[in-house]
Every structure is written in C-alpha cells, then in structure tokens.
Structure 1
Amino acid sequence: MLEDEVAAVGAARRAWVPGVVAEVAGWRRVEQALTRAGAGSRLLAGVSGVISDLRRVLARVDQGAITVAVGGKPGTGKSTLVRAIAGLGPAALPSVAGVRLALRAGPRRASTVVPRTFADLRATHLRPRHLLLGLPDIPTSAADLRTWRYPEPGDQDYLACAHPSLLADLRAIRSSSVELLDRQGGPLLVDDPRTAATIAAEAPHAVREVVVERERVPIALWDLPGTGAVAVSTDLHVVDDLAADVVLQVVRGHWCDADARAAVVLREAGAPVVVVVNGGDVVPSGLDPATTLHADVRDREAVAADIVAPLLRDLANTLPIADAELLAAARVGARPVLTGLAEHAVDPPAG
C-alpha cells in the first residue's frame, strides 16, 4: 500500500534524527561556551551558521512524509496530477492561478492564506517586471504602490512596451494587493480550502502560498504556479524556500521554449527534477525516455502505477544518499569554525 511504502522511506530517513539532534546540541554548548569566553562576533556567527545548516538537515530527515512539488508551464495538468496523487477532488484541493498551494499533514483539517509583505512583493513581483520593462523607479511602500501610475493601453509608453502582459501584471498587482498587504504577512486562517482559494484568487500576487492541512497525508505536495510563460526572472519566487524531495515537471505535447524556461526555474528548487508527460506514451523530442514518466494525469490508477510507484522506488534509493550528502556538506562547512575554538580553550562537539 502507498502509505506503507511512504512510511518505510520515512522511517529510514528518521534514523538520522538522533545523531543530528546530538550534533545540534553539541554546537549549542559550543556557542554558550564561546559567549562566556567573550569570543568575537565573527566566530559566533560561524557557529550560528553551522547550527542553521544542521537544523535544515534535521528538518529534512525528521519530516513525516515525502515531499513532492509539481510544476511546469501553464495548462499542462499540474493541478490535476497533484489531486490524482493526493486522491482528492477540486473542492478539497482547489487551485488558484499564480498561487503556490501546499498540502501537508496537520492536527485537523484547516486552510491558511499566507500573504506577502510589501518587501516580499517588491522583490518577487515588482522588481523583476520593472527591470524587464526598463521602468526607472520601483514603489517603495504599499502606500506608494496604491498611487503608482503604470502606462495604460493607448499611452505612448504602452505602445512602445515589449512586454504588455507584464504591464498588465503590474496594474493588477496595484489594484488587487492592498488589503492583503495591510496584513503585513500575517496568516489568514479559514476552515474551507475553497474559501482560501477565493481569497487568494482576488490578489494572487499578494499571496505567498495557500496551505491546506489534513489529518492523513502520506505524500506532502506542492502545486506550483505555471512558469516559463515570459521570463525566468519573473517566476523564480515560485521555488523560494521550497523544501521538496523531488520536483515533477509536467509536459503536454511537444517540448517548447516555455517548457525549457520552466525547467530552469524548477531546477532552482535544489531538488531533482523528473519530467512527467501527460497523456500519451510518446516522449517529446529532446527528453530521455529512460528518465521520463508518463500517464494520463486524469486517470488516478495510471498515476498510481506509472508515476507514484516508480517515483517511490527511486526515492527509496536516492533520498538516503541525498540526506547523507547534505549532512556531510554541513560538517564540511563546520571545519573553518573548528579551527577557531582552540583560541578560546573550547572543546569541539563530540562526534
């Protein structure tokens, strides 16, 4: 059964937990000893960095579920595949154009809309579009954005614009983002996922993500917004802080420039990217049939047999290696810090 297979992978990963917890505790003791010894801020910052790296490893191996992100260009069937993997319908797991949606385990069924702060909106949506359009200035506050003038259809600046769709984005951001920006990133809790989706749809650029929680989630899922339509730089926010074990890129029909741009974005997640061909056995030219999965994403049985099963078999082999490599990298990063401990007569962590 799916839950048994996922549980076996999770148990193997959690075997790392006691050792990593002990390492974090050891570095905490080092941090306290250095503070008492009056160590400099640079050395303390190095120790803090080591602890942060180890905590990231701990968060990865201690999660109760495998985490899969699903992305690609718009219109390929991404959300349909997410629902097929989850075994849920649109009412339980709605999609919102332009908004990242997470399905994860929680103590009860609940949904959360996570708004962006203005600084986040400025960095992820305003700045990339202003740069591509060659606009000289960028709003510096939510109040500034409310009164900002962007060229309208018929304006000379609009007619000379190479990317009118980006101008349309900016005008939509200006008109729809105000109320959620006023929350300054504070989450909005609702019971029904459809309510969360409705709120997010009114101001998608101002929403960082929608989180749907259910009591039993064997595979945690990310339904990513469509990417690759215009430019890589405007889509990179889609994979910000995306803690995924693997990313599925859904492709439909032939491989085109938008798919290539989407692939660049998805690789920035830092996880392996596996291509899923939706609807047919023919693998688009340029892709490796040996590493490409394919199924009609509307067919849940086909998805379970031809996508989920081989994916789990692969992850059972690759995740322990990836976890070990991440832990090894954290330990290598700690080496420069270890050389500074002797100056303060502080013993390094055991192990």
Structure 2
Amino acid sequence: MEATPTQKVPTLPVVLLLQGRTCLVAGAGKVAARKAEQLLEAGALVTVIGETPSEAVRDLHARGAIRLKERAFQDEDVAGCAVAFAATNDADANLRVLEACRRRGILCGCVDLHWREGDLISPAVLRLDDITVAVSSGGRSCRRSRLVRDSLARHLSGVNTADLLVIGTIHQHISLQRLEETGRLLKCVWGLHEFLLLSTCTRVELLALAATDADVHELLRRALGLGGLEPDAFYVRQGFDAFQHAALLASGLLSQMPGESHIVAQMKDSIAMAERLGWSGSIVREWMSNAFLISKDIRADAAGIVRSGDVEALLLSEHRDLYDKTINNVQSRHPSE
C-alpha cells in the first residue's frame, strides 16, 4: 500500500560503496549539482545529463569533476550505472528516470513527489575526519534532519577536543544536595560528555570528560556555584593533571589522613550513581579503573615517600601511557557507546 505524505516510510540505513563506479544524475539544476557533489564525495564517476546546466553544474564540469551531457535524459543513459538520481524540475521526467532504472535493477532516488517510488533517499550528512553521520526523517522533514545534523556537528567537534577535567572545592562552598541537583542540569551542557560527582570527607569534585574550551569550563564552574569564589577557593585540573589527581585521590594521599582506604569505596559509589543516572559512560569508567589500578602501586611505592612532588614524579614516569590510552579511546569509542 502506498504511504501518504504524513506516514512514516520504513527504511534501512546503509552506506554505499561507490568509489570508481559509474553514477548518473538526471537534471542539471542546483539540486542536481548537490546530488553530484554527494556522489563525488563517495568517489563515484559522475555523469550529469540536463538541457540547461546551472552555474554549479558547469563549474563541476569545468573542474573536470563530472561528465556533462547537455540534452534531455534517454532511457539508455542508465545502463551500467550503480546509482542514479532523478533530479530534474519535471515530475514526469523524473518518473521516467525511475522507471528506466527499475527495468534494469538500478538503484534510483528521486527529489520530488515520486521519492516514495524510488529505492533510496539522501539523508543529511555530517563528515568529520573518519566519522560519517547520516540523519534521516524518513522523507518527512528535511529541515528537521539538517537541524539534528548541525547539532551533532557541534557535539562531535567538542568530542574531538575533549580531555579529562577535575573541578573541586571544599564542602563549605558546595553542599552535596546542591551538587546532585546540579548534576541533572550538567547533562544538558554542550561540551560536557561524561561526568561524575564525588563527595569525600573534605572535598566535593566534578570529574569529567569535557571540551577544552575555556567558556565550557567557566560555565561548569558557574553551574557548580563556584562563579563568585576567589581563584584560590577552588581548583581545576585538566588532561594528565586530572588523570594524576584521580589516582592520587584513590591512593588516599590527598585525604586528611594520608593513606586511608575508604576513599575507594566513596569513589566507586559515585561511579555507580553517575552510571545509574546516565551521567557517565565508558571513558570515565576506564579513567577510574586506571586510577584504582595506579593507586595500588602508589600505596606500595610511596610507603616511604613524604614529599608529594616525589609521588607525582612517580606517576609521570610510570603511568603516562595509561592516560594517553584513555584519551585516544575518546575518538574511537565515544560517543557511540
């Protein structure tokens, strides 16, 4: 049964491998030019057929990017093509392209009201390094698809610059109750990808995977209620300093009684709460796992060390590789998990 304009059309998202394969765009206007550019991005060999090529199509041809035939479409034009687009400004002509492809078993997409009769629709596409994101509303709202794509683009840009972050202060400046309420708001902050909120005997901390943008850090400080404090009333650790801080914290060396062990249980409770509430995921979990692992080495190796600088030197020399591995996994595992 044919779908009405308001009905959702079931689709199967796929990625077509078109490098070096012949593809056709019937039509030579602005829309046809965009379809040709999309095919070129996939490495296809593109032929555009149209009687009155637009400036954009002529520019592609002048650059040697496409083959251009300035004439009306003919049924035999689709022979040997992997994919075709019916992108003329004539609905009857587009239907003719669809029918020619259907007879030859060639995938064809149409840009007008005949799109439901075709084999594919073009999603809103975002490409960032080796990441490709396609967003589709099933043909019902191209504007909505573009809006989602643009929002994802900002998010992915932040992921690519993300690093570990710690913002903390003493209990007098932040209550645990306020921190938990703030956590629900922090989930809405662009640039804050994963986090947990930790309360120990002496301190309250945000441990996070966040964008390195200074404005994001300022927003987080304000959300935590630290905006009006003097700089020496709170502390910020970033990158390896944040990684090192978590390990020292888990070792008990930053506690009122250096070496105490119940800090690990407090950290594990905070991790469990963050995962239950959807605040944290695989990256923060790996960070904390490494912190616990390193803390065991610190407890053993720092038994006779009294200067914190010596402990930090130990961390820097022996465990920098674990930090590097954690950050490298941001691009390979986040945000898909």
Q: Normalising by the residue count of structure 2, what TM-score does the alignment of the two structures yield?
A: 0.30
Q: Which has the higher strand share?
A: 2
Taking CA–CA contacts closer than 8 Å with sequence separation of 6 or more, which of the two structures ends up with the larger relative contact order?
A: 1
The structure carrying a bigger helix percent of its residues is 1
